[in-house]
Amino acid sequence: MSTGSHPAGLTLVSHHLCPYVQRAAIALMEKGAPFERRFIDLAAKPDWFTALSPLGKVPLLLVERMEQPQAVLFESNVICEFVEEAVKGPNLHPADPLERARHRGWMEFGSAILADLWGLETATDAAGYERARARVADKFARVEEVLGNGPYFAGEAFGLVDAVHAPIFRYFDLFDALADTAVFAGLPRVRAWRQALSVRPSVRAAVTPDYPDRLRAFLVRHDAFLLKQAA
């Protein structure tokens, strides 16, 4: 639960396509926390970033505090948990410890979906594409079993589980225009959840307007089978 106030300054070190950055940005916006975005090119990481990031990954959250050294947070779920605990605003986790732990588990499940999604978008042949597609579809079938009546994961309240899954669904705005992935076939609750998240202001604002073009260019660079289907 939120117990703090807005820190003196927050900077989210970002990459335009990174879904893990998006979840952190969504959490910050849901709290109404002012923050700066600093985009970097992961193919040409600046020295200052390499010095700050233990894993060489985004996001980083740089936290300025009054009369104290800058703090550097890494790993998206850690950043989201810090935002929940330290920044005033609507609670993004349930108050009940058991439900909170359950939500954290489904946040991790979202990260597992992203690992399979990488295979889906970078597969260069039909066999690799189908293996990844089936893994993603199977995982969303599990999600269908735990969803209620919505509109969000836990009902009326938007939470960190929603922030984690919204960037996953965003991929399919382009993928669906290229091919019938059938990932959400027969999953009405998942489809309704996707729709509810797609119109959430924080979700829409988590990426720059050129996100679809950047994602398409990524597929081109990886000779993605998805593009071959579109042809």
Cα dihedral across residues 154, 157, 160, 164: positive or negative:
positive
Listing DSSP states for 77-101 in one string gives HHHHHHHHHHS-SS--S-SSHHHHH
Active site residue 18: yes
> Could you give phi then psi for residue 191, rounded to 5 degrees?
-65, -40
H or E element at residue 10: strand 9-14
Amino acid (1-letter code) at residue 2: S
The Cα diameter of the chain in Å comes to: 58
Token pair for 143:
């999600």
Candidate list 12, 18, 107, 174, residue with the active-site label: 18
Spatial separation of the C-alpha atoms in residues 33 and 90, rounded to whole Å: 11
Could you list the active site residues? 18
